[in-house]
Structure 1
C-alpha cells in the first residue's frame, strides 16, 4: 500500500480544501439556519467537478478511484455536514449503481448529466417496514408490457427534494424473498412519481430528506438496473463499496473538530494558564488525535482494497462501524473541551455534535455492521 497521492489528486485535494475553507465555511451558519445550500455554492461545486467524482471520464466525470475519492471526501467532510451529505450521497450511492451495474445505453443516457451536476442522484431503499431489515420491502413492481408499475413509499431518502434520478428497490417476485428484489432507475418526472414533505431532522440541515411516493408509477423495462431479481445484492454492493467514502467524510469532520479544539485550548485560559496545560484537557485532545490517526489509516487501507478489487465486506463494515463511532466520540470530546461554548448554537462544535449522531444510523446502523462482521468471521472460522 502506498499512501502517497498521485499529483493530480494532490492538486484536486488542494483546490477542494481551498474551496471548502474560503467558500463553504463562509456560509456554514447560513446553511444551518436556512436549511438549504446556497445556489452559488452548488454552481461552484459543479464547476469544480465535485458531482462527477465517481463517474468515468468517458461520461464526463473525473473517473477517480476510491483512494482519490477518499482524499477529496476528507476535505469535503471538514465543513457543514449538510453540504457534505448532499455531495456524498450523489457521488456515492446516488450514482455508483449506474456506473457499476448500468448497461451502455443507461450510462450514456444518465451519467453525463449526473457528472456535471445538471441532475442529482439519490438512492431509495428504506421504507417504513424496511430499515435494518432491508429485505422487508413493501414497494412492488409489476411488469405490464413495455413497462413496470411501481407502487409503494420510501422514506428518509437523502437528496429526495433535489434529485432527478433515483435508484429504487422494489419487489418483483415476493415468493423469492431477497432474490425477488429488483433495482430500477426512476426519473422524478415519470408518471405518478411524487416527492413527499421534507422531514425535519436533528442535524444535517441543508441536506433534505423526504418520502417518495409511487402509485402506479410507470417505469420503462429498459430502466431495470442490472438483472431482475438481483436488486438486493446490488444494493449491498453499492452500500459496501461506499462505506470507505463515508468514513473519509467522517474523518474530515473529526480532523476539523481537532483543529478547532487545539486552537481553543491554546487560547483559552483558566487558573492562569492555557487549558492545554491541564492534564484532563491534554488527555482529551490526545485521545482525539490517536483515534483520528487510526481512522485515517483504516480508511485508506479499505479504499486501497476497493481499488484493488479485493473483497471488502467485513473490512467495509468494520470501517463504517469504527468511523461513525470515532466521529461521535471525537465530537463529544470537542464539546467537553470547549465547555459552555461547545454547547452554544452560534459555534460550529454544537452543529458537528448533532450531525455526528446520524452516522451511527444511516447506510447501515452500527448494530447491523456488527452483524455483518460476525457473519463474515463465522465464515472465516468455519
Structure 2
C-alpha cells in the first residue's frame, strides 16, 4: 500500500467535530486483550505491594525510595513497554503503554512523575530521534532501569516559550565536542538520573538543538538543592547547571536546530500520557472517599446516604468514566495510525511521531480535561472526609497536592486550550479537516425556519446523539464566525480561544462516553450498563450547560446587533433538550452502584 493510499484510509485527528463516529469504531477499556488485562493486573499488584504501603515515606521526601521503586519497575519491564524489542524493550502498542502509565501512576504523584519523565521525555526522544549508535548505547539501559533519564528544557526565562532558552552550545576548536553553558530548572529525576536530554542554542540559530549528555559531575555539571514543592514530594526536582560541559559531537540528537521539533513532539506524547496518569488516581480517590462515606456516621446515618454526598460521588465517578473513555479512544486512534504508517513502509520512529502528531488536538483536549477532573476529584475527596480530609494523616490532602502540578506539566492548561483550537484551524486550512462547509451550513441553518417535526427518541441515546450533533453546530457557529471575522488575528484573542476550546473539549469527552456505553450495551444489555448509561447522560447534560455558557461568552466577545441576536437564538435552539433528563435520578443510580460496591466499580 502506498503512503498516499494509507493516508486516505486513516482517521484524522480532530475529525470528530465534523463527523459522526460509530460506536463499533471506538476502542474502550472493555476491549483490552487478555495480554493487556494481565499487564494491568501485574501493574496494580506492583503498585499495591511496592508503593501503597509506603505512602508516608513518599510524603517525607524519600528520594531513595522513588529510585528504588523505579529500579524495580525496570526489572518488571514496565519502563520498556514502548521501547522496541531490539533495544531490550517489550515493543508493545500505544494502548498498552497508556495502560501501564495509567495504573502505575495512581497511588502517588511522585512515582507518576518519575515514571512519566523517565519513560516519556527521558527515553523516547533518543528512541525516536537518535542514530542507531545512540539508540544501541543508551536505550537498552533506559528501558531496563539500569540507567534513568531526565529532560532539560525549561529555564528561568523559558517556560511555555520553550524555544527562547539561553543555554548555549558551541563547537570546540578541535571539532570533537560541543561545549554547553547554561542553567535548567524544574528538572524531574535530576537527583538520580544518568543521562540528560539537553536543549541548547548554537550560535544565532532560530531553533534550539538537542544533545544527549551523560550526568558526570566532573564534566562541568552541578545541581541545586532539591526543590521544596507543594506536592510530588519524593519526585527529585532540581536545577541543573552546565559550566563548559563537553559533549561528544556524536551526541547531538537529530540535526542542528531540530531541538524545538523534538521538544514539541515529546510534549504531544506527554500530554495524552499525563491524562492516563490521572485516571487511576481518580479511581483510588473515589474508592477511598466512598469507603470513608460508608463508614462515617452522622445523625446515626452513614454520610454515604446523604444526597449532598451522593451527588459528589456520582459526579466523581462520572468524570473518571468519561476520562477513561476518551483517553483510550484517542490512544487506539494513535495506535491504528502508527500501524497503518508502518504497513506503508515507514520506520518505527516515523510512524510513532506522525501517529501521535496526527492526534495532537485530542492529546491537548485530554491533558486539560482529565487533569482538571483529577483536581476536582481530590478536592471533593477532601470535602467528603470533612475536617479529616484536611489532615495529612488522611490520604486526600496528599492526593490534592499531587494533582495540582498536572495542570502545569506538559504545557499549562491555558496553553493547551489555545493549542487545541489553533491546531484545528490549521488543519482546516491545510484541508485535513473540512470545517468550512459544515460551518457555512450552520450559518445557513441559523436563518432558516426550524423543523417542528417530533423526532423518534425510542432508541437508546437517540436524543443524546441529536444533542451531540447540535453541540457540534455550536462550536462551528462560534469558531466559524470568529475565524471569518478575525482571520489571522484570532490567536491574539485568547479569551475567545479559551471559550471555543472548552466547547471542543466537552464535545469530545461527552461523545467518547456515549460511544463507549453504546458499544458495551450492544454486546451486553441496557440493564447491564444501567449505571454507565446514567453517567453518559449526566455528563452530556453538564457538558451542554458548560457549552451554552462558553458560547454566550464567545458570541458576546465578537458579535453585536442583529448578528449577535441571531447567534444567541441559534445557541438556544442548539442547546435545548426535548426531554430534560432527571439529573437527580441519574446521580442516584450512579451513587447506588458505587456505594454498594464500596469502590469505583466501572
| TM-score normalised to structure 2 length | 0.61
Distance across 1 between alignment mates of 2:123 and 2:312? 39
Contact 1:73-1:252 at 8 Å conserved across structures: no
Which position in structure 1 is the counterpart of 2:50? 23
Deviation at 1:73, TM superposition (A): 1.7
1:167 maps onto 2:194 in alignment: no
1:1-382 residue pairs with structure 2 within 5 A?
1-3=26-28, 4-38=31-65, 40-144=68-172, 145-174=175-204, 176-177=205-206, 180-189=207-216, 191-307=219-335, 308-309=337-338, 310=355, 311-382=358-429
Contact 2:70-2:115 at 8 Å conserved across structures: no
SS for the counterpart of 1:93 is helix
* RMSD (CA atoms): 1.5
SS for the counterpart of 1:320 is helix
Contact 1:188-1:194 at 8 Å conserved across structures: no
**Unaligned 5+ runs, structure 1:** none
Distance across 1 between alignment mates of 2:91 and 2:232? 27
Contact 2:303-2:309 at 8 Å conserved across structures: yes
SS for the counterpart of 1:114 is helix
Distance across 1 between alignment mates of 2:115 and 2:104? 9
Greater share of helix residues, 1 or 2?
2
Contact 1:54-1:92 at 8 Å conserved across structures: no
Deviation at 1:2, TM superposition (A): 3.3
Larger radius of gyration: 2
Deviation at 1:316, TM superposition (A): 0.8
- Deviation per residue, 1:208-231 (Å, 9 max, x gap): 100111111111111111121111
Distance across 2 between alignment mates of 1:37 and 1:282? 40
| TM-score normalised to structure 1 length | 0.95
Contact 2:61-2:234 at 8 Å conserved across structures: yes
Deviation at 1:75, TM superposition (A): 1.3
After superposing on structure 2, the runs of 4+ consecutive aligned residues of structure 1 that deviate more than 4 Å are none
Contact 1:50-1:87 at 8 Å conserved across structures: no
- Deviation per residue, 1:104-131 (Å, 9 max, x gap): 1001000111111111011110000000
Distance across 2 between alignment mates of 1:377 and 1:118? 41
- Deviation per residue, 1:290-336 (Å, 9 max, x gap): 11111111111221222223401211111111111111111111111
Contact 1:182-1:229 at 8 Å conserved across structures: yes
Contact 2:130-2:253 at 8 Å conserved across structures: yes
**Unaligned 5+ runs, structure 2:** 1-25, 339-354, 430-602
